[in-house]
Amino acid sequence: MFKAKFLLTGFLMVFILLLTPGIGSGGASSPPEITYVDFPKEINADGTCVQGTVGFSDSNGDLLKAVFAVVAADDFRLFEVDPSPLQGQEEGEFSFEISTTTTQKVTLQLTLLDQEGNASPSVFFTFEAIQACQSWSRTFGGSENDLAYSVQQTSDGGYILLGATESYGAGSANFRLIKTDVQGNEEWERTFGGSEDDWGYSVQQTSDGGYILFGGSYGTRDGDFWLIKTDSQGNKQWERTFGGSDIDWGWSVQQTSDGGYILLGYTESYGTGKEDLWLIKTDSQGNKQWERTFGGSSRDKGWSVQQTTDGGYILLGTTWSYGAGSADFWLIKTDSQGNKQWAKTFGGSEDDWGISVRQTEDGGYILLGDTKSYGVGSADFWLIKTDAQGNKQWERTFGGSGDDQGYSVQQASDGGYILLGTTWSYGAGSADSWLIKTDAYGNKEWDRTFGGSDIDWGWSVQQTSDGGYILLGCTASYGARGLDFWLIKYCPEE
C-alpha cells in the first residue's frame, strides 16, 4: 500500500499522487471508480501527519493517477511526485497523509484517471485544521507592581491583555496593554497615562480590528472614566474622559451593536447617594449619547455591563442602599436607552459583592461574586443563575475556611459555566488563582488552582476557540519582581 503525501504549511501545498499502470491493459475500458474516501473531519494544525484512505475499482487494472485538487483553501500551489506501480490491480485501496500548521477549512476534489484518459466521477471531501489545545503560562512585568484585570482572545487566535503598570510608563501607575500570539508570546505592548495614577480594567477587540480600553484616571481631577480607542497595533486613535468634581471610576466596557460603546462604573459626582452606578452610552467615536445613574442614599458601585439580545443592557454591581445586608448583589436590566426595566438584589445579613454578569443562552443571566452571608468560609464564591426577569433559579457557593472571591464568569460551549477568582482556602500559597468548571446547573465538575508560595490571584477568564481556557491575573510567586501579569492557558484534557 503506497502512501501519497501532501503538506499544508504557511501556504497550502498539494502533492498529486501518480500511480503507475499495470501491464497489458489494452482496448476500450470503463472509467475507474472511487468506492470510498476515509479521512477525519478535523485535524490538529500542529504538523502531525494524519492518514486517509481511498478505495477504488478499475475493471482493466490500468489506473494511471489520482489527482487531489484544492477547491476551497487559502494560498496554495500544486506539484507532482513520481509514480509507483499498482501492478494491474482491479480493486484495492491506497493511503495518503496530510499535515498542517495553519488553521483553515479545506475542501479537496479527488479524481482517478486511467491510462486511456478515462476519469472517474469526482469525490469531494472537507476537513478543518484546528489549533491543538496546549497548556502554558507567561508572565509580564518589571521591577515594580504590574496588575492585570482583563483578557480576550483576538480574531487571529492570540490574546489582548489590559491592566495597570507601576514598572513602565510616565506615572506612578499607567494603563498597560499587551498583545500576544496564540502561544502567549508578546507581540507588542503600549502604556497610556500621565504623571498621576491611571488604571485599566476592561479591554475588548473592536469590529475594525482595533481595541477599546476602559478604566479610571486621576490625570484631570479626582478621578474620571477614561476611554481609549486604538488601532490594531495599539496606537491611540482617540480618547475620552467623563467625570465631575469628585471621584468617578470606570470598570467595564463593551462595543455595542451600533458600533458605539457602553460603559459602567461608579460616580461620586452625580446621582443621589455617596456613590452611584454610572452607565454611559457613546457613539463609535466615544462621544456621549446618553447617561444614567442608579443608586440610593448610600454607596452603590457598578462592576460589569453587557448588551443583551433585546438591545438593552444588563448591569451588575454592589449596593449598600438596598437589599438585606450591608452590601448585596444588585442586578439591573435596562432598555436600549438605559431606562431601568427591573432590578433585583441578592444577599444576606453580611457583605455580598456581585462582580461579573453574562447573559446565558436561555435568555437568563449568570452572576458571580463573593458572599459572606452564605457558604462555609469567611467569604466564598457565589454563583447565581436567574431567568430573563432576574428571578433566581438556583445558586451555588464554592469555598473553604479562608477567603474565596469570584471575579469572572462565562458560559462554556457545553452549556455549563467557567469561574475564575482567588482562593485563600486551597492551593500552594497564601493565595492562588482558582478555576472552577460547573455543569449547566452549577454543580462543580472540576477545579484547578494555580500559584506558588506567594500571593497569586485570578481576575479574568474566557473559553478559547480550541476548547481550552485563557486566564489572566497577577503573580508574586513567579515573574520579575513584585506582582506581574500572569497569563495562563489551560487545557482540561491534558
Domains of the chain: 3-130 (2.60.40.770), 136-490 (2.130.10.10)
pTM: 0.82
Residue 160 has a pLDDT of: 98
91-100 and 3-8 as β-strands: parallel, antiparallel, unpaired?
parallel
CA 469, CA 416: separation in Å to the nearest integer? 13
Query: Which neighbouring-strand residues pair with 474?
Result: 457, 485
In the prediction, which pLDDT does 63 show?
76
Close Cβ partners of 194 (under 8 Å, ≥ 6 residues apart): 170, 171, 174, 217, 219
All residues at 6 or more sequence positions from 426 whose CB lies less than 8 Å from its CB, including other chains: 400, 432, 434, 449
What's the sign of the alpha-carbon dihedral 414, 416, 422, 425? negative
In whole angstroms, give the CA distance from residue 44 to residue 101.
Answer: 8
Of the candidates 449, 289, 447, 420, which has an alpha carbon nearest to the alpha carbon of residue 358?
A: 420
**pLDDT digits (tens), the chain, 494 positions:** 333 444 444 333 344 444 434 333 344 568 989 899 999 998 887 778 888 888 888 888 887 777 888 887 765 555 443 344 565 788 888 878 887 777 788 888 888 888 888 888 999 989 888 877 889 999 999 999 999 999 999 999 999 999 999 999 987 899 999 999 999 999 999 999 998 999 999 999 999 999 999 999 997 668 999 999 999 999 999 999 999 999 999 999 999 999 999 999 999 999 998 999 999 999 999 999 999 999 999 999 999 999 999 999 999 999 999 988 799 999 999 999 999 999 999 999 999 999 999 999 999 999 999 999 999 989 999 999 999 999 999 999 999 999 999 999 999 999 999 999 999 999 998 999 999 999 999 999 999 999 999 999 999 999 999 999 999 999 999 998 899 999 999 999 75
- Hunting for cell 448583589 — which residue is that? 329
Distance, in Å, from the CA atom of 376 to the CA atom of 308, rounded to the nearest integer, reads: 34
Q: Residue 381: helix, strand or coil by DSSP?
A: strand
Alpha carbons 385 and 493: distance in angstroms, whole number: 27
